[in-house]
């Protein structure tokens, strides 16, 4: 299996006042092409820190974070941004849609940032997440579930090798949460993207190929 993400001995410390918080302590693991892995563990165990490092929005203090061949720990800023835009799609707990852009424009954004346009691809994804009829609407006019389905389409539109989802159902009622999860799973299978999903909900983890269990900044089990 091709590794699309590899973490080797990754540590990340934060300062909280004059206290050092060890968010990650020597984490190593491999995400292979096309697989779905759930990262589980209690609040504060380091799930978001792990995803943020792979997303290239944070850097480790030690170790390597290799995403599709680029070590984000050592990459220059331009190389980091290019790697993120090309290889990574992100779904956040609180959707993070651009409020002044329509559904269709939000989904097209990752392509636009890469200097590309592909209206056919955008429309295809909108159809597959069931939002074709809402494409001219603004995020504020959508339900939470519809906003997250928009975010799922946006995360996949540029065919990233890695999709990161940080508590993607955390702001949704259970019915729309289940629908969003099913959709993410279906789309990543069709698209062949790997999905790394952080959650403290053990039932969500049941859908994954593997479960990485974290505690106090360390991986304590891989099941
Ligand atoms: N920017 C930051 N500044 C200070 N501490 C942080 C920061 N980000 C995360 N932490 C701390 O690092 C630890 C891991 O956080 P996080 O990765 O967000 O955990 P999780 O997503 O599993 O809830 C926690 O103790 C958290 O308070
Ligand atoms: Mg978190």
Read off the pLDDT of each residue in 75-98 and give the average, rounded to a whole number. 94
- Span 7-39, pLDDT tens digits: 999 999 999 999 999 999 999 999 999 999 999
Ligand 1 nearest atom to the CA of residue 166, by list position: 21
Task: Supply the range of the domain harboring residue 140.
Answer: 3-222
Indicate the number of domains in the chain: 1
Read off the pLDDT of each residue in 95-122 and give the average, rounded to a whole number. 95
Q: Label residue 81 by pLDDT band (50, 70, 90).
A: very high
**pLDDT for position 204:** 82
CATH of the domain at 64: 3.40.50.300
- pLDDT higher than 80, residue 1: no
16 Cβ closer than 6 Å to some ligand 1 atom: yes
Ligand 1 nearest atom to the CA of residue 41, by list position: 22
- Span 157-213, pLDDT tens digits: 999 999 999 999 989 999 999 889 999 999 999 999 999 999 988 788 888 999 999
Q: How far is the CA of 48 from the centre of ligand 2 (A)?
A: 4
Ion ligand 2 neighbours (CB, 5 A) are 47-48
**pLDDT for position 206:** 85
- Concatenating the DSSP letter of every residue in the chain gives --EEEEEEEEEEEEEETTEEEEEEEEEEEEEETT-EEEEE-STTSSHHHHHHHHTTSS--SEEEEEETTEETTT--HHHHHHHHHHHEEEE-TT----TTS-HHHHHHHHHHHTT---HHHHHHHHHHTT-GGGTTS-GGGS-HHHHHHHHHHHHHTT--SEEEEESTTTTS-HHHHHHHHHHHHHHHHHHT-EEEEEES-HHHHTTSSEEEEEETTEEEEE-
Which of 15, 45, 49 to mutate to test ligand 1, by most ligand atoms within 8 A of the CB atom?
Answer: 49
Which of 14, 38, 41, 47 to mutate to test ligand 1, by most ligand atoms within 8 A of the CB atom?
Answer: 14
The protein residue with its alpha carbon nearest to ligand 1, atom 7, reads 14
């Amino acid at each position: 299996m091709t590794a699309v993400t590899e973490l080797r001995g990754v540590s990340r410390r934060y300062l909280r006042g004059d206290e050092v918080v060890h968010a990650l302590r020597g984490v190593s693991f491999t995400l292979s092409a096309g697989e779905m892995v759930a990262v589980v563990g209690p609040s504060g165990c380091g799930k978001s820190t792990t995803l943020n490092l792979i997303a290239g929005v944070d850097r480790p203090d030690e170790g390597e974070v290799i995403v599709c061949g680029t070590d984000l720990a050592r990459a220059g800023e331009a190389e980091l941004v290019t790697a993120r835009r090309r290889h990574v799609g992100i779904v956040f707990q609180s959707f993070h849609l651009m409020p002044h852009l329509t559904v269709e424009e939000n989904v097209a954004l990752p392509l636009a940032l890469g200097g590309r346009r592909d209206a056919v691809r955008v429309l295809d994804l909108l159809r597959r997440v069931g939002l074709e009829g809402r494409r001219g609407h603004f995020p504020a006019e959508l339900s939470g579930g519809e906003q997250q389905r928009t975010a799922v389409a946006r995360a996949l539109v540029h065919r990233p090798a890695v999709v990161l989802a940080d508590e993607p159902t955390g702001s949704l009622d259970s019915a729309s949460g289940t629908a969003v999860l099913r959709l993410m799973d279906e789309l990543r299978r069709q698209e062949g993207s790997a999905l790394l999903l952080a959650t403290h909900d053990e039932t969500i983890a049941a859908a994954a190929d593997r479960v990485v269990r974290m505690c106090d900044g360390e991986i304590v089990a891989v099941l």
